[in-house]
Amino acid sequence: MPSKSGTKQAPVEAGLKIGELARSTGLTTKAIRYYELMKLLPEPRRTESGYRLYSTEEVQRLEFIKKAKRLGLSLEDIRDILTLHASNQPPCVHVLALLDQKLAYLDDLIGSLYEFREELAHLREKSAAQLPQLTQGPAICGIIDQGIHAKGELALTWLEGRKKAKGKA
């Protein structure tokens, strides 16, 4: 289409560029590219100059992905759900099964955390009563040396994972 000066202008392409999509969803451009790589988003359209263009469907899909992640679903789980949806199969039965798995895991974890807490409380009580003996000798700290050792490993692993995840956020 000629402009007032008579030269042709490139057609304006509708859609969001990746930075605009990132701002509208609260995600980083890196996360969006990663989701494309993991096949959670379809290959975007491109402008003539190669910029990615996204539609409102991708905004909705990214909001869905964020909500699914908040439920503790993995990217693989989310991809499976999206694949079922794309093939016109209702994914909610699959999601219920995934939620059942998450609940069972959490029940185990809560039990382990409770046991671990009880073991720590017992160790603390026992150590407070024996404090003079625990501070003698070559040990750095007798409380740690007597510890609870292998007990509470699931709880400790989970706690360590949470610390690392918070450090990345």
Which burial class, exposed, middle or buried, applies to 58 when counting CB atoms under 10 A from its CB (0-12, 13-18, 19+)?
Answer: buried
Kindly give, in sequence order, each residue whose CB lies less than 8 Å from that of residue 145, ignoring residues fewer than 6 positions away.
Answer: 139
pTM over 0.75: no
Q: Residue 5 above 80 pLDDT?
A: no
Query: Does domain 18-89 correspond to CATH entry 1.10.1060.10?
Result: no
Instruction: Report pLDDT digits (tens) over 110-158.
Output: 998 898 899 889 888 888 888 777 677 777 777 777 776 555 566 667 6
Domain ranges of the chain: 18-89, 101-168
Instruction: Report pLDDT digits (tens) over 26-57.
Output: 999 999 999 999 999 999 999 899 999 999 99
| CA–CA gap between residue 71 and residue 102 (Å, rounded) | 9
